[in-house]
Chains A and B, each alone.
Chain A
Amino acid sequence: MSTVLDKRLLFVTGKGGVGKSTVATALGLLAARHGLRTIVAELASQERVQGLFSSEGGEGEQFREMELAPGLFTISIDPQQAMEEYLRVKAGPFGQALGSSRLFQAFAMATPGMRELLSIGKVWELAQLHRRTRGAAPYDLVIVDAPATGHGVGLLRTPRTFAEIARVGPIAHQGHTIAETIADPEFTGVVAVATPEEMPVNETMALVDELARDSLALDLVIVNALYPARFEPDEVDELSQALTRTRSALARSALRAALSEHARAATQREQRDRLRERVDGRLVELPYVFADHVGLPQLESLSLALEESAL
């Protein structure tokens, strides 16, 4: 765990619906508590992280670094704005003119991989000690709330692909620089989030192989939303018998809910063990959050759980 927070750039990926944003933000809170100036960067204008900090819906200002908690910032990266910023910095007035040309925008946004390249370029910029953005303070840690697993690996690969396609010139150069940063295990880490269910576990196992193909390592797997083990296996009979004995409808409901959760918890543990075997120790667990939504108190307790699991 400590090694993960030692990186400067952390990609958090996982199948849709496993709680990537929640986990990325909990990691961010943990890092900020340890005195690291941290930013959680969301891609594709999801604005979920900001949503976690407000009570209803998630509509906030886009593409601005915002402080969510002491030492914890967030930004929602929009490829188009990333492009305009890049052009402005790289090519001055020409760049500005180009960036504001609707035709050029349409062309750039439609070019395969360009959105990904621009997004990851902005992520890279955030992680630099000397920020390209004028007057911007550096971060100790950039946590990327990355797209779903399949696309996530594509994202990590994009800079190199572009460097290869463009061969020479500024894009090639930029692509190479970013690719080197991603390939540097001291600088960059990858964290996979999975719920202990068949599909997310399969995807995470596939991710290990995919990353290896690009000579990247999976630094940590976070198993999210694990049900508590409330009942011992030998108590199940007791519960089932009570279910036949009781005349109270309410007791029956409660007993059925207990048996149901126990069954799910058991399946979850099988899936978790399958994953643990594959990733060999690089796995920590987060409990299921029983709450109507995940807000700051829940995120705080998840970040504490992450901290404890590292010890």
Chain B
Amino acid sequence: MNVAEMLEGKRVCVCAGSGGVGKTTTSASIALGMAATGAKVAVVTIDPANRLANALGLERLENEPRRVEPERLETGSLEVKGELWAMMLDPKRTFDELIERIAPDAARAEEIKANRVYSELSTAVSGSQELTAIAKLYELDQEHEFDLLVLDTPPSRNALEFLDAPNRINSFLEGRALKAFMKPTGFGFRALGRGAMPLLGGLRRITGIDLITDLTVFFQLLGDMTGDFSQRAAQVEQLLRDPTTAFLLVTSAAREPIDEAIWFGQRLEADGLPFAGVVVNRVHHDLLGDREPREVRRSLARVLPPGLAVRVAENFRDYHVLARRDDHNLARLSGQLDERRLLLVPQLDDDVHDIEGLLRIHRYLFGSQAERDRLIDDLVA
């Protein structure tokens, strides 16, 4: 299966994976490839490399998708029948906009935005990027402007953070736990029974009264809005579970990212989230096959001076260590999932930072099975 087949009938593609595996590049390449098939596609990215951002015309943070000018995509090798749109997410602004949308009036929105608990919540805390990325995805999906949305998930260390972080913030915003503590008649007090008063005293003693006061003010400001947060969280959850959504894992072939990809795949399955496939970047294919390593030296000796031949052979030996490692890890990965849902992108000579680079990857993602096999055969031969 190629990406086009994996994403057939899908409206949302979430590219997830641990840090440093080429998620942003893969997302952009997928969006470009799908646009080429005639779709109107928007890629939502968090923090693209400067040169890639420039190549897509993303000079500024605008927080709304912008069309990549068709001229930029004219490279001769790929005809783009549809439209490619791109945006760079501004988490703080997205959070502010969310508050503005949900707040009953502008004054209240301003008060909330000025609150210190809110400013900590919307900036410093891990999880706000994940939450706002999903919020933006939901919003764009509601607007029905695009055939497909491709989300490049925030650069966290581990892919699961993307699923867990928003829930953490949402459960805070819903404020149930805190309200239970603050209201004398609340659930907390009833649940805790007679132990509640000293417990609350202990809480104040440990956290400091002002923090509790600040939190209380924050939740008073939020007021009925907490219900809206719960409702939105439920809707977002529904979007992620929707059969028209696809989770695509991006990984490299090194041990840890592969481990995480396997965990993430299992987690998607356990949570009933729609899994589309895995893109494995920077694969070192086995170039030696069943030949003997000393044949390398011998064959090089005919065309190179001895000193240089030795260094080329050393380089090959080192490369082969990585090829064996990748082989082993890919075998573990394909043991865990449907092998047809595995797409391999080889280690390239350079990082991808322009449209040309995206097209180099495109072949490995959108080629037919036969085409992809041939590309790899060419590498190995």
A161 at the B interface (CB under 8 A) = yes
**Interface-located stretch among B69-77, B139-147, B265-273, B343-351:** B343-351
Question: For window 179-233 of chain B, which residues contact chain A by CB distance below 8 Å?
Answer: 180-181, 187-188, 191-192, 195, 198-199, 201-211, 214-215
CB of A35 closer than 8 Å to a CB of B: no
Cβ-defined contact, A246 with B303, below 8 A: yes
A103 contact from B169, B181, B210, B257, Cβ within 8 A: B181
Give the distance to chain A from B59, nearest Cβ to Cβ, in Å: 15
Which residues from 36 to 77 on chain A have a C-beta closer than 8 Å to any C-beta of chain B?
44, 46, 48, 51, 57
Q: Are B318 and A98 in contact (CB under 8 A)?
A: no
- 1/0 per position for B342-381, CB-CB distance to A under 8 A? 0000010111010000000000000000000000000011
A254 touches B328 (CB 8 A): no
A154 to B380, CA, bound (A): 46
- Within the assembled complex, what's the spacing in Å between the Cα atoms of A171 and B117? 15
A48 vs B255: C-alpha distance when bound (angstroms): 11
Please determine whether A16 and B203 come into contact, CB atoms closer than 8 angstroms.
no
**Which secondary structure dominates chain A's binding surface?**
helix
Q: Is there a chain B Cβ closer than 8 Å to A239's Cβ? A: yes
Cβ-defined partner of B303 (8 Å) among A48, A115, A251, A253: A251
Beta-carbon contact of A111 and B215 below 8 Å: yes
Interface contact A94-B198, CB-CB below 8 Å? yes
| Count of A interface residues, CB-CB < 8 Å | 80
CB-based contact B350/A251 at 8 Å:
no
Nearest chain B residue, comparing its CB with the CB of A293: B255
Residues in chain B near residue A170, CB distance under 8 A: 205-208
Q: Are A147 and B157 in contact (CB under 8 A)?
A: yes
Return the chain B residue nearest A290 by Cβ: B318
B155 part of interface (Cβ distance < 8 Å): yes
A147 and B19 contact, Cβ closer than 8 Å, known pairs A95-B206, A257-B287, A263-B350: no
Q: Are A101 and B211 in contact (CB under 8 A)?
A: no
Q: Select one of A15, A16, A101 contacting B192, CB under 8 A.
A: A101
Cross-chain contact of B199 among A48, A94, A245, A290 (Cβ < 8 A)? A94
Instruction: Check: A260 CB closer than 8 A to any chain B CB.
Output: yes
Given the contacts A48-B256, A106-B171, A113-B125, A292 and B328 also touching, CB distance less than 8 Å: yes
CB <8 Å contact, B322 and A290: yes
List the B side residues contacting A44 at CB < 8 Å: 157-158
Q: Which residue of B lies closest to A162 (CB)?
A: B211
Across the interface, do A167 and B259 meet the contact criterion of CB distance under 8 Å? no
Query: How far is A107 from B302 in the complex, measured between Cα atoms in Å?
Result: 72
B297 nearest in chain A by CB position: A254
Check if B106 is an interface residue, CB within 8 A of chain A: no
B177 proximity list for chain A (CB < 8 A): 103-104, 106-107, 110
Is residue A168 within 8 Å, beta carbon to beta carbon, of the partner chain?
Answer: yes
Chain B residue nearest in CB terms to A148: B157
Whether the pair A154, B125 counts as a contact (CB closer than 8 A) is yes
Q: Which residue of B lies closest to A96 (CB)?
A: B202
Would B18 and A17 count as touching, CB distance under 8 A?
A: yes
Closest CB in chain B relative to A60 CB, distance in Å? 14
* A1 interface contact, C-beta 8 A: no
Query: By CB atoms of chain A within 10 A, which of B116, B300, B314 has the most?
Result: B300
Q: A112, A249, A292: which contacts B381 (Cβ < 8 A)? A: A249
Indicate whether A250 sits within 8 Å of B120 (C-beta atoms), given known contacts A165-B214, A292-B321. Answer: no
A-B contact pairs, 13 of them (CB 8 A): A16-B156, A106-B176, A111-B178, A116-B126, A151-B156, A162-B211, A165-B120, A170-B207, A242-B304, A250-B296, A253-B380, A290-B318, A291-B325
Closest 3 pairs (CB-CB, A-B): A16-B19, A17-B20, A169-B208
B interface list, Cβ under 8 A from A:
18-21, 47, 49-51, 116-117, 120-121, 124-126, 155-158, 168-169, 171-172, 176-178, 180-181, 187-188, 191-192, 195, 198-199, 201-211, 214-215, 252, 255-257, 259, 287-288, 291, 295-296, 299-300, 302-305, 308, 311-316, 318-319, 321-322, 324-325, 328, 347, 349-351, 353, 380-381
* A contact set with B: CB distance below 8 Å: 15-18, 44, 46, 48, 51, 57, 87, 90-91, 94-95, 97-98, 101, 103-104, 106-107, 109-113, 115-116, 147-148, 150-151, 154, 157-158, 161-162, 164-172, 195, 197-200, 202, 230-231, 235, 238-239, 242, 245-246, 248-255, 257-261, 263-264, 267, 290-293
